[in-house]
Structure 1
Amino acid sequence: MELTINKKMYQFKFGVKFIRTLDEEMPIVTEQGNFGLSLSAKVIPELQSGNTNTLARVLSFANYNQTPRASLNDLDDYIDDCENIEELFDMTLKAIETSNSGKLAMTKFNQAIAKAEKSKKK
């Protein structure tokens, strides 16, 4: 995924390093310890619900190993000034969904949502 921020092109990669960073920085915390289920249990639902803090952090993590690097402040400003925030959320979710590292988590999340909606209709 690519975004132009302050007239500079930035790359965002949603690969294994992205997932590892998510699991380290945004772990699922329980009494038994921290678990690395951040993408499916935390990030996807928060992106689906429009959480801009999560969007900024996700974009920061996806840009972490790229050159040039966007600062979190630059990403915050970009999100604040974005004319079509829904499209940015959609692009980010689509980039996760089409990456090898995020594909399975997105598929399972979407299946769980579909199953829950089907149960509601009964």
Structure 2
Amino acid sequence: MFELTINDKVYTFNFGVGFVREINKTVKVEMSGVTEDAGLTMALTHIYDGDVIDLVNVLDLANKGKSPRVTKQELEAYIEDPDTDIDKLFDDVIGFFTTSNATKKRAEKMFKSLEAAANE
């Protein structure tokens, strides 16, 4: 479990199979006449690039079904707070993607590929 404390409340986030199922539904890609779910792949790319909108969406989906439930507005306010270390938050989320059993294989491969492309 990944946790964030926002306004003195501890929120839990899970990047499990249910999360993957939900996030994959958010993006459809057609290749050679075959439509495939690609939400996780797109989210990993956008998180790596520092996209705060995808960060909010990822955290929102990872908190789905949890109690307490964080709102997107609370997540946005947390990210906008000057006391929030946004670089650490991105690093923590990336780190969690690479350790969760449901996402680590895809995340490690994607992040390695993105790093190699950035170093070219």
Query: Under a length normalisation based on structure 1, what TM-score does the superposition of the two structures give?
Result: 0.85
Partners in 2 of 1:46 and 1:64 — Cα distance?
Answer: 20
Distance 1:89 1:114, change over 3 A: closer
Indicate the larger mover: 103-112 or 62-71.
Answer: 103-112
- Root-mean-square deviation (CA, aligned residues, Å) is 1.9
Which residue does 1:53 correspond to in 2? 53
> 1:74–1:38: structure 2 CA closer, same or farther, 3 Å change rule?
same
Matches within 5 A, 1:1-122: 1-24=2-25, 26-30=26-30, 32=33, 34-40=35-41, 42-81=42-81, 82-113=83-114, 116=117, 120=120
Q: Aligned partners of 1:114, 1:48: CA distance in 2, in Å?
A: 9
1:20 to 1:87, Cα distance in 2 relative to 1, 3 A: same
Could you tell me the TM-score, scaled by structure 2's length? 0.86
Letter in 1 for 2:30: T
Question: Structure 1 CA distance, aligned partners of 2:86 and 2:115?
Answer: 25
Q: Is there any run of 5+ residues in structure 2 with no aligned partner, and where?
A: none
Q: What stretches of structure 1 of length at least 5 have no aligned partner?
A: none
Measure, in 2, the Cα distance between the counterparts of 1:90 and 1:58: 14
* SS of match in other structure, 2:107: helix
1:110: Cα distance to partner? 3.1
Identity %: 32
**Residues matched between the structures, number:** 117
| Compared CA separation, residues 80 and 103, structure 1 to 2 (3 A) | same
* Structure-2 separation of matches of 1:91 and 1:23: 21
Deviations 1:9-49 (A, max 9, x none): 0000000111111012x213337464222212x11110111
Letter in 2 for 1:3: L
- For residue 101 of structure 1, give the secondary structure of its aligned residue in structure 2: coil
Alpha carbons 1:27, 1:37 under 8 Å: kept: yes
